Amino acid sequence: MASRYPWCMGIQSSEQGQSISCPFSTFEECRAEASLNRGWCFPNPRYVAQAPETAPQSQPEPPPGAPTKRRR
């Protein structure tokens, strides 16, 4: 199953063993949380990048004085 978040954090605990959480959009966001929990960050192996949204393509305006197409 694909994930929409590119970064994961791992935490090693003597009580619970190792746990992994992958809710981070940026490496910096993960590092901030990891520093509070003595964790580490790594790329999410299940992350699938979303295709960027594209704006509809419009025709460029002709330069001033350029001939224009006329409809008949």
At 32-70, the pLDDT tens digits run 999 998 899 999 999 988 877 776 666 677 777 777 666
Q: Where are the domains of the chain?
A: 7-43
pLDDT exceeds cutoff 70 at 7 = yes
Identify the residue whose tokens are 């090693």.
12
Residue type, 51: A
3-state class of 27 per DSSP? helix
- Residue 49 tokens read as 């990048």
Side-chain-side CA neighbours of residue 67 (13 Å): 3
Identify the residue whose tokens are 């008949």.
72
Output the pLDDT for position 72. 61
Q: Which residues contact 44 (CB under 8 A, 6 or more apart)?
A: 3, 5, 6, 7, 8, 22
The mean per-residue pLDDT over the stretch 5-19 comes to: 91
The mean per-residue pLDDT over the stretch 2-17 comes to: 89
